Structure 1
Amino acid sequence: MIMKVSVILTSYNKPDFIDRVLKSMVEQTYPHWELLIMDDGSEQGTIQKIQPYLSDERIQLYSHTVHPAKRLLTARYATLINEALTRITGELICYLTDDTVYHKDRLLKMVDVFRSKPHIDIVYSSQRVVHVNQHLVETMSFVREANQILEHASFQVDHCSVMHRSRLLPLIYEKYGQYWDDEPKHWHHADSVFWMRLNHFASFFPLKAVLDTTYKTPHSFHHQFSSMPYDLIDGTIIE
C-alpha cells in the first residue's frame, strides 16, 4: 500500500546546512513524498542552495517576506507550518528544520509502522544531537532515546522526530481553532504545544532506531535566541 508523506521544512538563513538537509530528502529510500519548503525571507545565499533541488517535482518552495517589526508578532516557524498544513496532500506528515538531516531510511521505517499497525496515529524515533562550533566541527553529541509510549510528549520529543497521520488535523482544528499555536509566548516550544494537542487524540509510539541527526550550531535557533526570555510577557519589546 502506497502512503504519501508530506514533509514540512522551515528555512531561514542556513546556507551552510540547507544543502545537506535537502540532500537527505532526495536520498530517501522511500520515494512517495512531497517536500514543502517554507522559507521565511532568507538571504540569497540560502535561496541559491535551494534552487537546484526544485527540479525535483516533489519539492516546492514557498518564499515569504515579513517586515522586521512584525517578525516577533508570532512564532514564525509555527505560522509557516500552519500555512503548509493547508497545502499538504499526504496521508502522513512530518517536520524538518534547516539544521537537521533525515537518515536515508527514515521515511521508510516510519511508514512501515503505519502500514502494519493501522491503530497507531503518531510515531517518534530516537535522534542524534550533535553540537558543532563556528567551524562546523563537532564538539559533543548524544542520543535522545525513543523508548516508551508517550501520553505526554511535550518537551520530550524533538520537532523533527515525529510522523503522524493527517486524519488528526481536522480534529485538532475543530478543538483548538488552529493547528500549531503560533502565539509569540510559545516561540521556544511551539512543537511541544502541538504535541500536547496531538496527545489529546493519540499516543506517541516509539521507534528505537536513530532516524535523524540535528546539528546545534552557534546560529541555531536556541543559541541565537539564548538571551531571549523563555516566557514572553504580552507587550514585551525585544531588540
Structure 2
Amino acid sequence: MTPADVSGALVRAVRDAVAEGELDVSVPDSAVVFCRGAGIYESPVAMKLGVEPAVIARRAGGVARDGFVRIVVPVAAVVDGVLGDSGFGVARVPKGGWSEWPRTFENPGFSVRYAYARACWTGHWAAELGIGRGRFQGVAAEELALVGALGDVPGRAEQAERERDARPLMFCLERVAGAYHDVHERCPAVPKGDEVPGAMHTGRVALAEAVKVALGNGLNVIGEIPRERI
C-alpha cells in the first residue's frame, strides 16, 4: 500500500461522508499523506477541510490523532505497494545530483548509487541460488527503518516537485540508501554458509527489489541513469 493508495482511501471516505450528509464540504481530488514510520501514514486532510478527523478516520479504517487522520497498514503491504507501482516516487522534479567522489559511505552520492547497485546484485545472487521473491515479513529494527524510509519517498518527490527543488527527494533517497546498507549488512537476503533458504530470505529479496524500484526511479527523476556497477 503506497501513500497514493492511502490518499485514495481518504478521498473516498470524504466522498462517502458527503454523499450521506455527514459532511458538507467540497471533495478534494487528493489528500496530502506523510509517512511517520513503517506502515504508519498521517494526513492533515481533516484540518484542511475544517472537519472533525474522526469522521474521516472512521470511514477510512484509521484513527484521529492530534487533528490528523492516521492509517496503519502492515509493513508487507508497503513493500507490496512499491513493487506493484512502476511509477513509485516519480514526479516532475528539477535535476539534481551528487559528486561521484570520494567513494566512501560518507559521500551521499556514493551511498545512494552503491545502494542501488547492491539491491540489483542481491536479486541476481538470489536468483542464482533459486531464491525467489516472497512476502516480506521482516521485524528487525533495521528492516522496519527501511520500510519507513521507503514509505516517505512519494511524499518527498511531490514536495520536490511542488517546491521546484530536488533536495527534499535527494535527502529522502539518502535515508533509503543508508537504511538499506544497514539491512544488507545485518539482515542479508542471501543465506550465509550452511544456512537453509526460507521465507525470511524470500521476503528480504522482495525488500531489496523494492529498494531497487525506489532508488532507480529516484535517480531517474533527478536526471541520473541508475547503474548496477559503479
TM-score, normalised to structure 2, is: 0.28
Say which structure is richer in helix: 2
Say which structure is richer in strand: 1
Radius of gyration: which is bigger? Answer: 2
TM-score, normalised to structure 1, is: 0.28
